[in-house]
Protein backbone atom coordinates (compact mmCIF):
# COMPACT_ATOMS: atom_id res chain seq x y z
CA UNK A 1 0.00 0.00 0.00
CA UNK A 2 1.49 3.32 -1.01
CA UNK A 3 1.61 6.09 1.53
CA UNK A 4 0.31 8.69 -0.88
CA UNK A 5 -2.06 6.82 -3.17
CA UNK A 6 -3.04 9.86 -5.20
CA UNK A 7 0.54 10.91 -5.67
CA UNK A 8 1.32 8.44 -8.41
CA UNK A 9 -1.92 9.04 -10.25
CA UNK A 10 -1.35 10.10 -13.81
CA UNK A 11 -2.19 13.78 -14.16
CA UNK A 12 -4.59 15.09 -16.73
CA UNK A 13 -3.14 15.52 -20.19
CA UNK A 14 -2.62 19.28 -20.06
CA UNK A 15 -0.44 18.95 -16.96
CA UNK A 16 1.42 15.99 -18.42
CA UNK A 17 2.05 17.96 -21.61
CA UNK A 18 3.33 20.94 -19.61
CA UNK A 19 5.67 18.69 -17.66
CA UNK A 20 6.99 17.15 -20.85
CA UNK A 21 7.55 20.52 -22.52
CA UNK A 22 9.18 22.14 -19.52
CA UNK A 23 11.42 19.22 -18.56
CA UNK A 24 12.61 19.02 -22.16
CA UNK A 25 13.26 22.73 -22.50
CA UNK A 26 14.94 23.28 -19.15
CA UNK A 27 16.97 20.11 -19.02
CA UNK A 28 15.28 18.05 -16.32
CA UNK A 29 16.41 14.97 -18.17
CA UNK A 30 15.83 12.42 -15.41
CA UNK A 31 12.22 13.51 -14.91
CA UNK A 32 11.65 13.61 -18.65
CA UNK A 33 12.95 10.06 -19.04
CA UNK A 34 10.49 8.92 -16.39
CA UNK A 35 7.60 10.61 -18.22
CA UNK A 36 8.58 9.02 -21.53
CA UNK A 37 8.89 5.65 -19.81
CA UNK A 38 5.34 6.03 -18.52
CA UNK A 39 4.11 6.40 -22.10
CA UNK A 40 5.57 3.11 -23.26
CA UNK A 41 2.78 0.94 -21.90
CA UNK A 42 -0.03 2.87 -23.53
CA UNK A 43 1.89 3.72 -26.70
CA UNK A 44 3.74 0.45 -27.32
CA UNK A 45 6.46 -0.01 -29.88
CA UNK A 46 6.61 -3.77 -29.63
CA UNK A 47 3.94 -6.28 -30.53
CA UNK A 48 4.38 -8.12 -27.20
CA UNK A 49 3.83 -4.89 -25.27
CA UNK A 50 0.80 -4.09 -27.37
CA UNK A 51 -0.78 -7.48 -26.66
CA UNK A 52 -0.09 -7.14 -22.94
CA UNK A 53 -1.26 -3.52 -22.62
CA UNK A 54 -4.15 -2.87 -20.25
CA UNK A 55 -4.62 0.75 -21.24
CA UNK A 56 -3.99 2.01 -24.74
CA UNK A 57 -3.48 5.43 -26.23
CA UNK A 58 -5.11 8.53 -24.80
CA UNK A 59 -7.10 6.40 -22.36
CA UNK A 60 -4.05 6.44 -20.09
CA UNK A 61 -4.95 10.00 -19.11
CA UNK A 62 -8.14 8.93 -17.40
CA UNK A 63 -11.78 9.86 -17.99
CA UNK A 64 -10.93 13.29 -19.42
CA UNK A 65 -9.38 11.78 -22.51
CA UNK A 66 -7.52 14.24 -24.71
CA UNK A 67 -8.08 14.42 -28.44
CA UNK A 68 -5.78 11.88 -30.14
CA UNK A 69 -4.48 14.67 -32.38
CA UNK A 70 -3.40 16.67 -29.34
CA UNK A 71 -1.39 13.73 -28.08
CA UNK A 72 0.19 13.12 -31.47
CA UNK A 73 1.00 16.80 -31.85
CA UNK A 74 2.72 16.85 -28.46
CA UNK A 75 4.78 13.78 -29.29
CA UNK A 76 5.79 15.29 -32.64
CA UNK A 77 6.81 18.58 -31.02
CA UNK A 78 8.71 16.91 -28.20
CA UNK A 79 10.30 14.20 -30.33
CA UNK A 80 8.84 11.20 -28.48
CA UNK A 81 9.80 9.01 -31.40
CA UNK A 82 8.94 5.60 -30.01
CA UNK A 83 5.35 6.60 -29.28
CA UNK A 84 4.70 8.29 -32.62
CA UNK A 85 3.46 5.35 -34.75
CA UNK A 86 0.85 4.28 -32.23
CA UNK A 87 -0.21 7.86 -31.54
CA UNK A 88 -0.65 8.38 -35.30
CA UNK A 89 -2.70 5.20 -35.51
CA UNK A 90 -4.96 6.32 -32.65
CA UNK A 91 -5.47 9.65 -34.38
CA UNK A 92 -6.30 7.88 -37.63
CA UNK A 93 -8.94 5.71 -35.99
CA UNK A 94 -11.01 8.80 -35.29
CA UNK A 95 -11.82 9.13 -38.96
CA UNK A 96 -11.30 12.01 -41.37
CA UNK A 97 -13.37 14.62 -39.55
CA UNK A 98 -11.64 14.10 -36.21
CA UNK A 99 -8.28 13.88 -37.92
CA UNK A 100 -8.83 17.22 -39.65
CA UNK A 101 -9.83 18.94 -36.40
CA UNK A 102 -8.74 22.56 -36.42
CA UNK A 103 -8.65 23.29 -32.72
CA UNK A 104 -5.59 25.16 -31.46
CA UNK A 105 -4.12 22.07 -29.89
CA UNK A 106 -5.40 19.52 -32.37
CA UNK A 107 -4.46 20.84 -35.78
CA UNK A 108 -1.81 18.61 -37.33
CA UNK A 109 0.85 19.49 -39.89
CA UNK A 110 -0.44 18.94 -43.41
CA UNK A 111 2.17 16.34 -44.28
CA UNK A 112 1.41 14.36 -41.12
CA UNK A 113 -2.27 14.58 -41.87
CA UNK A 114 -1.77 13.36 -45.45
CA UNK A 115 0.41 10.44 -44.33
CA UNK A 116 -2.12 9.27 -41.77
CA UNK A 117 -5.07 9.56 -44.13
CA UNK A 118 -3.12 7.62 -46.74
CA UNK A 119 -1.98 5.01 -44.23
CA UNK A 120 -5.36 4.41 -42.62
CA UNK A 121 -6.94 4.24 -46.07
CA UNK A 122 -4.44 1.54 -47.03
CA UNK A 123 -5.23 -0.40 -43.87
CA UNK A 124 -8.94 -0.25 -44.49
CA UNK A 125 -8.50 -1.45 -48.07
CA UNK A 126 -6.37 -4.37 -46.89
CA UNK A 127 -8.90 -5.32 -44.25
CA UNK A 128 -11.81 -5.05 -46.64
CA UNK A 129 -9.90 -7.39 -48.93
CA UNK A 130 -9.49 -9.83 -46.03
CA UNK A 131 -13.18 -9.59 -45.21
CA UNK A 132 -14.15 -10.20 -48.84
CA UNK A 133 -11.89 -13.21 -48.98
CA UNK A 134 -13.60 -14.55 -45.89
CA UNK A 135 -16.98 -14.04 -47.49
CA UNK A 136 -16.38 -15.28 -51.01
CA UNK A 137 -13.57 -17.79 -50.88
CA UNK A 138 -14.16 -19.45 -47.55
CA UNK A 139 -12.73 -22.89 -48.32
CA UNK A 140 -13.50 -22.21 -51.96
CA UNK A 141 -17.10 -23.07 -51.40
CA UNK A 142 -18.34 -21.24 -48.37
CA UNK A 143 -19.52 -22.66 -45.09
CA UNK A 144 -21.72 -25.78 -45.27
CA UNK A 145 -23.71 -24.68 -42.21
CA UNK A 146 -26.98 -23.21 -43.41
CA UNK A 147 -27.34 -20.98 -40.32
CA UNK A 148 -23.97 -19.36 -40.88
CA UNK A 149 -23.86 -16.04 -42.65
CA UNK A 150 -20.98 -17.38 -44.74
CA UNK A 151 -23.01 -20.28 -46.10
CA UNK A 152 -22.47 -20.69 -49.81
CA UNK A 153 -26.15 -20.36 -50.51
CA UNK A 154 -26.65 -17.23 -48.50
CA UNK A 155 -27.51 -14.30 -50.70
CA UNK A 156 -25.73 -11.01 -50.29
CA UNK A 157 -28.40 -9.70 -48.03
CA UNK A 158 -28.18 -6.55 -45.96
CA UNK A 159 -27.32 -8.72 -42.98
CA UNK A 160 -24.37 -10.22 -44.77
CA UNK A 161 -23.15 -6.86 -46.09
CA UNK A 162 -23.28 -5.45 -42.58
CA UNK A 163 -21.29 -8.40 -41.32
CA UNK A 164 -18.60 -7.77 -43.91
CA UNK A 165 -18.41 -4.10 -43.09
CA UNK A 166 -18.18 -4.81 -39.38
CA UNK A 167 -15.51 -7.42 -39.89
CA UNK A 168 -13.29 -5.04 -41.82
CA UNK A 169 -13.82 -2.25 -39.28
CA UNK A 170 -13.00 -4.51 -36.37
CA UNK A 171 -9.91 -5.73 -38.14
CA UNK A 172 -8.66 -2.20 -38.72
CA UNK A 173 -9.31 -1.23 -35.12
CA UNK A 174 -6.93 -3.97 -34.14
CA UNK A 175 -8.75 -4.36 -30.86
CA UNK A 176 -7.84 -6.90 -28.27
CA UNK A 177 -11.44 -7.92 -27.74
CA UNK A 178 -13.47 -10.64 -29.35
CA UNK A 179 -14.17 -9.76 -32.94
CA UNK A 180 -17.54 -11.48 -32.82
CA UNK A 181 -18.82 -9.71 -29.74
CA UNK A 182 -18.48 -6.39 -31.50
CA UNK A 183 -21.04 -7.31 -34.13
CA UNK A 184 -24.19 -5.56 -33.08
CA UNK A 185 -26.60 -8.11 -34.47
CA UNK A 186 -25.11 -11.01 -32.58
CA UNK A 187 -22.94 -13.81 -33.81
CA UNK A 188 -24.02 -14.73 -37.34
CA UNK A 189 -21.32 -17.39 -37.74
CA UNK A 190 -21.25 -21.08 -37.01
CA UNK A 191 -18.77 -22.36 -34.41
CA UNK A 192 -16.14 -23.41 -36.94
CA UNK A 193 -16.30 -20.14 -38.86
CA UNK A 194 -16.16 -18.14 -35.61
CA UNK A 195 -13.04 -19.98 -34.50
CA UNK A 196 -11.32 -19.48 -37.82
CA UNK A 197 -12.37 -15.87 -37.89
CA UNK A 198 -10.70 -15.30 -34.54
CA UNK A 199 -7.49 -16.80 -35.86
CA UNK A 200 -7.65 -14.57 -38.92
CA UNK A 201 -8.30 -11.60 -36.66
CA UNK A 202 -5.18 -12.32 -34.64
CA UNK A 203 -3.00 -12.76 -37.73
CA UNK A 204 -4.37 -9.62 -39.35
CA UNK A 205 -3.74 -7.57 -36.22
CA UNK A 206 -0.09 -8.44 -36.29
CA UNK A 207 0.72 -8.63 -39.98
CA UNK A 208 -1.60 -6.15 -41.63
CA UNK A 209 -2.13 -3.54 -38.92
CA UNK A 210 0.75 -3.59 -36.47
CA UNK A 211 3.39 -3.98 -39.19
CA UNK A 212 1.90 -1.01 -41.04
CA UNK A 213 1.78 1.46 -38.15
CA UNK A 214 5.16 3.08 -38.83
CA UNK A 215 4.09 3.76 -42.40
CA UNK A 216 1.47 6.17 -41.04
CA UNK A 217 4.24 8.70 -40.53
CA UNK A 218 6.41 7.73 -43.44
CA UNK A 219 8.63 5.04 -41.97
CA UNK A 220 9.05 1.75 -43.75
CA UNK A 221 9.28 -0.43 -40.66
CA UNK A 222 9.41 -0.42 -36.87
CA UNK A 223 13.20 -0.49 -37.02
CA UNK A 224 13.17 2.87 -38.76
CA UNK A 225 10.57 4.34 -36.44
CA UNK A 226 12.14 3.31 -33.14
Q: Which residues bind another protein (CB under 8 A)?
A: 3-12, 14-15, 18-19, 21-23, 25-28, 31, 34-35, 37-38, 41-42, 54-55, 59-62
> Which residue lies nearer to another protein by CB, 11 or 144?
11
Rounded CA separation 90/21 (Å): 21
Q: Which is nearer to another protein, 29 or 132 (CB)?
A: 29
- Nearer to another protein by Cβ, of 20 and 116: the residue is 20
In the bound complex, what is the minimum distance in angstroms from residue 80's beta carbon to another protein? 15
Report residue 121 CA to chain centroid gap. Answer: 13
Alpha-carbon radius of gyration of the chain: 20
Name the residue nearer to another protein (CB basis): 6 or 140: 6
Considering beta carbons, is residue 21 or 160 the nearer one to another protein?
21
Min separation Cβ 15 and another protein, Å: 6
* Least distance CB 19 / another protein (angstroms): 6
Strand partners, 143: 151
Kindly report the length of the chain. Answer: 226
Q: How far is the CB of 65 from another protein (least distance, A)?
A: 10
Are 201 and 171 in contact, with CB atoms under 8 Å apart? yes
- Distance of closest approach, residue 11 Cβ to another protein, in angstroms: 5
Comparison of 30 and 220: residue with beta carbon closer to another protein:
30
CB of 90 to another protein, least distance (A): 15
Distance CA 114, CA 161 (A): 29
Amino acid sequence: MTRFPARNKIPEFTVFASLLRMTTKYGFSDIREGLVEDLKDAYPAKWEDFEAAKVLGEEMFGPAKPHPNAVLKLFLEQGIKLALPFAAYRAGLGGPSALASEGPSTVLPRLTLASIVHGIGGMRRAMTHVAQNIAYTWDLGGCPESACVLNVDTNLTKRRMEALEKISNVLVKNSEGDILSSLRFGNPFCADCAKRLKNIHRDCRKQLVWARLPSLLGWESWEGAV
